């Protein structure tokens, strides 16, 4: 995954949140105002205490004057309580909204990324970034922001007040502050590294859980429960140890801060008590000073708290920004009018491929001199030339690994072909807007993924809704009707996650029906008949060819019987086009197609 290119230290990561902060600027501003009002009210309470103690210590006081001080403290506490409610509402409410919007932005962006991104990144890691990491970001822009701002304002205000009140004592009281600052800097550097490690182990743990339960059928079939239990235990131990490293650091830091804060109180007691005895300071001044020093403990602790939370948030936001900064490897053309030209099936001079290649007239699909390789650089397809006219059907045959699935993935740009090699409706697929291009296709892939929903909803997934008659017709066309009749709830039967409760053949037939229901201009069945018997295959193929008259169909299969009604058949060997033509001609050619046909006919 690409790294986010930001500089400037920890806070640089939070620059990506500027649009969110701007959107909620008035709520944050209102929260800060309430926070400052709360701080001011807290700073007044020691002054009221000081006045009351000085009145009592002098003797001959009037109880009404003491009562006024007490009422003033009650009023200040009421302001503090109401103010705290408001700043929590404004600031924490905004941080929750930003978290929600950022999670939506992350999810939306993930859906724009190309197929290869999900091949390179584990689902468990993406889940952790979408949940745990976003929670850490919310804490940073909520509690972290409050603790940092509140601690800074309180610390600065208290230091000013105690120096104004009694500089002789205050200068001794602030002696531990440089040591606390040094501890905070050291703590901040270490906690970021340890928290990153904790999040990485969390991702590994999530990935183990996801893989185990997604492949539970395989796990149980091979009796590998104990192996996965051991693997989970190892990941769980790693996660615990990584988090314990963070906890130990935090557990060491906070007591040290508390010790230094207590040491400050001891200094105040010794220095301030001496000044009271000498008559240089009143008892009320000493009590007020103690109150301020106790209040200063929170900014000291809050500084460590802030560093901890902000470091965690920065690490998590960096992991999120890595995804948000990743651009899809396959994108729509950024030239105005590309979609209109492509949809009209005409070539635009501005969109002319660099090679100068053009599609032939009347071809729905045309592949010209196509050579394609994955990241390893080894050619999967070499020099492929195929033309399929509007309404024609094509069968693809070949050994495993010959490049059949790669070829059909290039048509809707699930993989990106070289410019000027793959054309649909007369236009280079790279000149099409992605949603317009892919809306032409209905695909039943090799791995028939099903959602944890009813059969009906899985079948009608690509539509806004389908009537019962259409669903019944498609179930019949895909030979799924007999299976559905055996289910207690018919098409309303709920299937397990990833279609766990369906057999391989049932999932394939449901996938075929799902691809056909949108009535695509081009239907692709990528080895979608491998798990059905020969009789059922014959029925399905016959129904498909009958239903698809006038529209283009591509069927990949290892059985030539699937091509009985096809207009063309192609044989791929080692990534090259070995045979191409009508199935009847290939049967007589003596090549791979005819040999496989003879073997399969003999087997039947």
What is the structure's pLDDT at 591?
87
The CATH superfamily holding the domain 17-324 is: ABC transporter type 1, transmembrane domain (1.20.1560.10)
Mean pLDDT of 110-125: 86
**Residue 351 pLDDT greater than 60, yes or no:** no
Band (pLDDT 50/70/90 cuts) for residue 360 is low
**Residue 84 pLDDT greater than 60, yes or no:** yes
**Residue 476 pLDDT greater than 70, yes or no:** yes
Side-chain-side CA neighbours of residue 425 (13 Å): 20
Mean pLDDT of 353-377: 74
Q: Which CATH architecture has domain 354-440+564-604?
A: 3-Layer(aba) Sandwich (3.40)
In this structure, are residues 496 and 452 in contact, taking their beta carbons and an 8 Å threshold?
A: yes
Domain residue limits, the chain: 17-324, 354-440+564-604
**326: helix, coil or strand?**
coil
Tell me: the pLDDT tens digits for 281-296? 788 888 888 788 778 7
- Topology alike, domains 17-324 and 354-440+564-604: no
C-alpha closest to that of 288 among 160, 162, 167: 162
Band (pLDDT 50/70/90 cuts) for residue 356 is very low
In this structure, are residues 408 and 556 in contact, taking their beta carbons and an 8 Å threshold?
A: yes
What is the structure's pLDDT at 11?
72
Residues 6+ apart with CB under 8 A from 381: 370, 371, 372, 403, 406, 407, 572, 575, 576
What is the structure's pLDDT at 189?
66
Band (pLDDT 50/70/90 cuts) for residue 7 is very low
Q: Which residue has the higher pLDDT, 236 or 464?
A: 236
Rounded Cα gap, residues 144 and 306, in angstroms: 5
Q: Which of 64-78, 133-147, 164-178, 229-243 has the lowest mean pLDDT?
A: 164-178
Band (pLDDT 50/70/90 cuts) for residue 60 is low
Where do the H-state alpha helices sit in 59-144?
A: 63-87, 93-112, 115-120, 123-130, 132-139
**Residue 524 pLDDT greater than 90, yes or no:** yes
Mean pLDDT of 182-209: 78
């Amino acid at each position: 995954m690409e790294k986010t290119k930001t500089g400037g230290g920890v806070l640089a990561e939070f620059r990506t949140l500027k649009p969110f902060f701007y959107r909620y600027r008035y709520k944050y501003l209102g929260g800060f105002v309430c926070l400052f009002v709360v701080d001011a009210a807290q700073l007044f309470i020691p002054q009221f205490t000081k006045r009351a103690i000085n009145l009592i210590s002098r003797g001959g006081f009037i109880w009404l004057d003491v009562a006024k001080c007490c009422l003033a403290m009650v009023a200040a506490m009421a302001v503090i309580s109401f103010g705290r409610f408001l700043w929590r509402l404004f600031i924490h409410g905004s941080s929750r909204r930003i978290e929600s919007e950022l999670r939506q932005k992350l999810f939306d962006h993930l859906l724009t990324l190309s197929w290869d991104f999900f091949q390179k990144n584990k689902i468990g890691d993406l889940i952790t970034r979408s949940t745990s990491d976003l929670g850490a970001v919310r804490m940073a822009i909520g509690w972290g922001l409050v603790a940092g701002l509140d601690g800074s304002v309180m610390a600065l205000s208290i230091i000013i007040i105690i120096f104004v009140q009694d500089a002789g004592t205050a200068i001794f009281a602030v002696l531990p502050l440089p040591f606390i600052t040094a501890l905070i800097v050291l703590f901040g550097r270490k906690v970021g590294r340890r928290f990153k490690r904790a999040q990485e182990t969390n991702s590994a743990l999530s990935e183990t859980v996801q893989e185990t339960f997604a492949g539970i059928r395989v796990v149980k079939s091979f009796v590998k429960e104990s192996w996965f239990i051991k693997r989970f235990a190892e990941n769980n131990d790693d996660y615990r140890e990584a988090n314990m490293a963070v906890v130990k650091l935090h557990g060491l830091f906070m007591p040290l801060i508390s010790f230094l804060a207590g040491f400050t109180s001891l200094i105040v007691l010794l220095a301030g008590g001496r000044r009271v005895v000498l008559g240089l300071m009143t008892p009320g001044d000493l009590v007020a000073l103690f109150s301020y020093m106790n209040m200063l403990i929170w900014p000291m602790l809050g500084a460590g708290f802030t560093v901890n939370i902000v470091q965690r948030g920065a690490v998590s936001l960096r992991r999120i920004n890595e995804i948000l900064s990743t651009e899809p490897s396959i994108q729509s053309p950024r030239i105005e009018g590309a979609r209109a030209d492509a949809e009209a099936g005409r070539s635009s001079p501005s969109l002319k491929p660099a090679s100068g290649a053009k599609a032939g007239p009347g071809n729905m699909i045309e592949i010209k001199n196509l050579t394609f390789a994955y990241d390893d650089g080894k050619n999967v397809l070499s020099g492929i030339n195929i033309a399929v006219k509007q309404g024609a059907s094509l069968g693809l045959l070949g050994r495993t690994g010959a490049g059949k699935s790669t070829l059909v993935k290039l048509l809707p740009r699930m993989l990106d072909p070289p410019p000027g090699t793959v054309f649909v409706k007369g236009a280079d697929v790279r000149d099409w807007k992605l949603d317009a291009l892919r809306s032409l296709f209905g695909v039943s892939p090799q791995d028939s993924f099903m959602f944890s929903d009813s059969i009906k909803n899985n079948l009608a997934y690509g539509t806004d809704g389908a009537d019962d008659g259409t669903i019944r017709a498609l179930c019949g066309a895909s030979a799924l009707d007999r299976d559905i009749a055996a289910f207690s709830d018919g098409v309303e039967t709920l299937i397990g996650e990833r279609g766990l409760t369906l057999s391989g053949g049932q999932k394939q037939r449901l996938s075929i029906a799902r691809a056909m229901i949108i009535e695509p201009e081009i239907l692709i069945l990528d080895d979608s008949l491998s798990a059905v018997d020969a009789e059922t295959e014959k029925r399905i193929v016959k129904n498909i060819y009958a239903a698809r008259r006038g529209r283009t169909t591509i069927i990949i299969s290892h059985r030539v019987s699937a091509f009985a009604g096809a207009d063309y058949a192609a044989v791929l060997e080692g990534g090259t086009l070995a045979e191409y033509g009508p199935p009847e001609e290939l049967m007589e050619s003596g090549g791979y197609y005819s040999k496989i046909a003879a073997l399969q006919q003999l087997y039947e």
